[in-house]
Amino acid sequence: MAPYFNIIQSLCRACFSSDLDVITHQIERLISAYRADGNIDEAKALEKMLNNAKNKEVLHSSVITFSSCLQGETLTPKTIIPVDKETSAPILDVIYVDELPSTEPIFDTFIKEAVDSVILEWSNYDKLIKMNATPSRSCLIYGLPGTGKTHLAKWIAKQLGLPIVLAKLDGIVSSFLGTSSRNIGNLFAFANRYKCILLLDEFDAIAKLRNDPQEVGEVKRIVNTLLQCLDSRDEIGFTIGVTNHEQLLDPAIWRRFDVQIEIPKPSPSIIPLLLKNFITPLKYNEAEISFLSWCIQDCSGADIQKLSNWLKRMSIIDEYKNECLYHLMQRYTLLNTGRISDKVKEIITKAPDDIYASLKASSPELKQKDIAEIFNMTPSSFCKMIQKNNKE
Ligand SMILES: Nc1ncnc2c1ncn2[C@@H]1O[C@H](COP(=O)(O)OP(=O)(O)O)[C@@H](O)[C@H]1O
Ligand SMILES: [Mg+2]
């Protein structure tokens, strides 16, 4: 029998019946078996996975107690949503917990740790209050468009087991003169009444008005109302502000947020992870992922998602499905000139060996033979071409 087959068999059975206790027990058996056989690295790797999963479980179970200790009524689909008095358009949307994303956004470790610390603090809200410590209750997430900020805000709410009250700021601000402040007041009154996270997405919609000289008086009124509302909400519930243009925000508003997290574009080590995440069920090998990552250096997470969807579409179109990745990416570059960096645009139209040189500089571990496939060449003809061009 193959090594540990009996344990793996029991583990599979436990997985199919979704019995977490048995799954944990079988993994612990596997760790002991590995350790006894001297496979220490494998035992440690499994142990780390198990501990991570257990920590998440602790986080998850604290969520349930947490949302039940927060003051306020529970939102239900029957709850009446406030509307703008002039236009009758709703001034907010409610996003219930089961509609929130359950996939964690993928960020560099230091961002992930900052986000985890906010979630941990907010999920220990009741304990902090008992200790007379004031937990932070507002968080501003800012950074370039498409970097996953809205996704992150929703995911935080999901982790806390709270629905989101999403302010329709564009509608609120463009409403008739004088009604914007009333709408903001109604929005906060609604959020304060229910157990929820108030999400002020595209928060800069309010700030943008400042550039319009005809709106000066109105903007002052809106900003003042907003400041008052943010101050009074601070005692009551959680608020997340999201903006792409943090420099447009009034400094007084900016200061109201206890925590401020900047989300940067994905770093070179995160791009392949995002690609692998979005590209499923398509399968690419490591060399192909490195090539795609090189092509979309400097792109946002949303751009990576867009490329992945495009590759999926190409994979089912008969005319393109057998095309090599190099030609596909040349075409994608021509169709997305605003997304692809100038450096890549310049090189991608050149010969494979030029691309190889640049690719090799960013991913030195790549071997010529692995890259040959991207150009639809056999390893030997690719190597010959590189050698010939190096001699010339
Ligand atoms: N780091 C990331 N991890 C996972 N998904 C991401 C990431 N960045 C962007 N996305 C995806 O890109 C799309 C746009 O993200 P979004 O949160 O709306 O960006 P933003 O609010 O920063 O403009 C979403 O589908 C989101 O899931
Ligand atoms: Mg957004």
CATH number at residue 132: 3.40.50.300
Q: Please, which pLDDT band fits residue 204 given cuts at 50, 70 and 90?
A: confident
Tell the residue nearest (CA) to atom 25 of ligand 1: 302
Decide: pTM greater than 0.75: yes
Is the Cβ atom of 106 under 6 angstroms away from ligand 1?
Answer: yes
pLDDT digits (tens, 9 = 90+) for 221-265: 888 888 899 999 987 889 999 999 888 788 888 888 999 999 999
Q: What is the mean pLDDT of residues 336-346?
A: 88
Instruction: Determine the pLDDT at residue 392.
Output: 60
Q: Residue 212 domain-assigned? A: yes
Q: Residue 304 domain-assigned? A: yes
Q: Are 180 and 212 in contact (CB under 8 A)?
A: no
Instruction: Determine the pLDDT at residue 363.
Output: 78
Highest mean pLDDT (candidates 11-15, 130-134, 281-285, 379-383): 281-285
Is residue 101 located within the same domain as residue 220?
yes
**Non-local CB neighbours of 139 within 8 Å, separated by 6+ positions:** 118, 156, 238, 239, 240, 241, 257, 258, 259, 260, 261
Q: The tokens 């935080």 sit on which residue?
A: 156
Q: Residue 338 domain-assigned? A: yes
Q: Which residue has the higher pLDDT, 67 or 12?
A: 12
State how many domains the chain has.
3
Output phi, psi for 128, to 5 deg.
-65, -40
Is the Cβ atom of 145 under 6 angstroms away from ligand 1?
Answer: yes
Is the Cβ atom of 241 under 6 angstroms away from ligand 1?
Answer: no
Q: Residue 86 domain-assigned? A: no
Q: Are 327 and 374 in contact (CB under 8 A)?
A: no
The tokens describing 279, both together, are 């590209």
Q: Are 29 and 7 in contact (CB under 8 A)?
A: yes
Is residue 161 located within the same domain as residue 211?
yes
Which structural domain, as residue segments, surrounds residue 256?
92-263
Is residue 134 located within the same domain as residue 58?
no
What CA–CA distance (Å, rounded) separates 129 from 280?
44
pLDDT digits (tens, 9 = 90+) for 43-70: 888 888 888 777 665 444 444 445 445 6
Q: Please, which pLDDT band fits residue 10 given cuts at 50, 70 and 90?
A: confident
Q: Are 158 and 100 in contact (CB under 8 A)?
A: yes
Q: CA-CA-CA-CA torsion for 274, 280, 286, 289, nearest 10 degrees?
A: -50
Is residue 135 located within the same domain as residue 14?
no
Q: How far is CA 314 from CA 102, 247, 302, 319, in A?
A: 28, 39, 18, 8
Domain end point (choices 263, 297, 323): 263
Averaged confidence pLDDT in the chain: 85
Task: Please list the residues that pair with 240 across neighbouring strands.
Answer: 139, 199
Instruction: Determine the pLDDT at residue 157.
Output: 95
Is residue 221 located within the same domain as residue 114?
yes
Q: Is the pLDDT of residue 354 over 50?
A: yes
The tokens describing 337, both together, are 């000139």
Q: The tokens 């008969």 sit on which residue?
A: 318
Q: Is the pLDDT of residue 303 over 70?
A: yes
CA of 212 to the centre of ligand 2 (A): 24
Q: Are 386 and 356 in contact (CB under 8 A)?
A: yes
Domain end point (choices 243, 263, 283): 263
CA of 38 to the centre of ligand 1 (A): 43
Is residue 229 located within the same domain as residue 351?
no
Q: CA-CA-CA-CA torsion for 121, 122, 124, 128, nearest 10 degrees?
A: 80
Q: Is the pLDDT of residue 389 over 90?
A: no
Beta-strand runs (E) in the chain: 92-95, 138-143, 164-167, 197-200, 238-243, 259-263
Q: What is the mean pLDDT of residues 202-219?
A: 71
Is residue 331 located within the same domain as residue 355?
yes
Q: Measured from the CA of 242, which atom of ligand 1 is nearest?
A: 21
Q: Is the pLDDT of residue 374 over 80?
A: yes
Q: Please, which pLDDT band fits residue 110 given cuts at 50, 70 and 90?
A: very high
Is residue 99 located within the same domain as residue 42?
no
Ligand nearest to the CA of residue 111, numbered in listed order: 1
Is residue 226 located within the same domain as residue 276?
no
CA of 246 to the centre of ligand 2 (A): 13
Q: Which residue has the higher pLDDT, 110 or 214?
A: 110
Q: Residue 87 domain-assigned? A: no
Q: Residue 82 domain-assigned? A: no
Is residue 98 located within the same domain as residue 226?
yes
Domain end point (choices 37, 54, 69): 69
What CA–CA distance (Å, rounded) separates 169 from 203?
7
pLDDT digits (tens, 9 = 90+) for 128-183: 878 887 778 899 999 999 999 999 999 999 999 999 999 998 778 766 667 888 89
What CA–CA distance (Å, rounded) separates 349 from 363?
20
The widest CA-to-CA distance across the chain, in whole angstroms, is 81
What CA–CA distance (Å, rounded) separates 343 from 88?
50
Nearest to 262 by CA among 362, 126, 114: 114
Q: Residue 179 domain-assigned? A: yes
What CA–CA distance (Å, rounded) separates 81 from 96?
14
Is residue 238 located within the same domain as residue 180?
yes
Is residue 175 located within the same domain as residue 214?
yes
Q: Write the burial class of residue 125 (CB in 10 Å: 0-12 exposed, 13-18 middle, 19+ buried).
A: buried
CA of 369 to the centre of ligand 2 (A): 41
Q: Residue 79 domain-assigned? A: no
The number of angstroms, rounded, from the C-alpha of 77 to the middle of its chain's C-alpha atoms is 27
Nearest to 194 by CA among 98, 92, 102, 86: 92
Q: Is the pLDDT of residue 352 over 60?
A: yes
Give one DSSP letter per residue of 71-87, joined into a string.
-SBPP-TTSPPPB-TTT
Q: Please, which pLDDT band fits residue 377 given cuts at 50, 70 and 90?
A: confident
Q: Are 84 and 153 in contact (CB under 8 A)?
A: no
Q: Which residue has the higher pLDDT, 293 or 70?
A: 293
Nearest to 345 by CA among 279, 289, 297, 275: 297
Q: Is the pLDDT of residue 348 over 90?
A: no
